[in-house]
Amino acid sequence: MDDAWLVSLAASPWLLPAVFALVVGDAFFVVLPSETVVVALGALSASTGSPQLWQLVPVAAAGAVVGDGLCYLIGRRVGLDRWHWQRTGRTATAIGQIRTAVHRRTALLVFTARYVPFARIAVNLAAGAGRVPLRRYLPLSAAAGMAWALFNVAIGSIVGGLLRDSPLLAAAISVPIAIVLGVVVDRVVVLLDDRRARGEASLAGETADEVPEGTIEGEGIPDIR
């Protein structure tokens, strides 16, 4: 199979700006295949030398941070239920699950949601609407965006390095591998978070049982009623 057109595309000067725009857009439109493109380009980089990894990773990370930041600003300005798409479908479900937890588990949610499209939108909207301080949110978003870019590019690069003579095949194989690994990572994080939440609930129950007489349960405040 002639892969010359693919090599030419990978070396195009317009490729990285297009990747940046695609990743930014994916913060709002989950149908855009930003992960797929980043993984595939990681494979092409390893097998053809273009695009350069030292360029691809920061461009993808910057697009992730800008897109998520814009979503955060929308949540901060308009809230969580002004627009129809915020009140329906999977986005609404995700928002309902996240809006009460975004302050308690900001770091965990920002990092893990980067790999789950609808959750990603919900977390960033909820962080903005919940007034999570920008000085707290932005470093977490930057770290999550860089981790996401490195994760996807690394998977593509490993497969591309093994299939240097077949760049198209390398790109095609690397994408489903990245999807499966992303699902595995998400499930592991969810299980660990559920275990932690159960531990906190158990500890809270034990603490409530030890509340002294004459205090409001769970608060340690004297009951003056």
Among 8-17, 42-51, 75-84, 215-224, the minimum mean pLDDT is found in 215-224
Query: Residue 217: inside a domain, yes or no?
Result: no
Q: How much is the average pLDDT of 114-132?
A: 85
User: In this prediction, what percent of the chain has a pLDDT beyond 90?
Assistant: 36
Query: Residue 90: inside a domain, yes or no?
Result: yes
Which position has the higher pLDDT, 88 or 128? 128
Query: Residue 110: inside a domain, yes or no?
Result: yes
Among 79-83, 137-141, 168-172, the minimum mean pLDDT is found in 79-83
Query: Residue 40: inside a domain, yes or no?
Result: yes
Q: How much is the average pLDDT of 99-126?
A: 83
Question: Under 8 Å CB-to-CB from 11, ≥6 apart: which residues?
Answer: 48, 50, 51
Name the residue range of residue 133's domain: 13-208
Q: How much is the average pLDDT of 34-50?
A: 91
Query: Residue 62: inside a domain, yes or no?
Result: yes
Question: Would the pLDDT of 58 be above 90?
Answer: yes
Which position has the higher pLDDT, 74 or 98? 74
Query: Residue 108: inside a domain, yes or no?
Result: yes
Query: Residue 179: inside a domain, yes or no?
Result: yes
Q: How much is the average pLDDT of 170-187?
A: 83
Burial class (CB in 10 A: 0-12, 13-18, 19+), 177: middle
Query: Residue 180: inside a domain, yes or no?
Result: yes
The domain total for the chain is: 1
Q: How confident is residue 220, by pLDDT bands cut at 50, 70 and 90? A: very low
Tell me which range, 5-9, 131-135, 183-187, 191-195, is most confidently predicted by mean pLDDT.
131-135
Please give the pLDDT value at position 191.
79
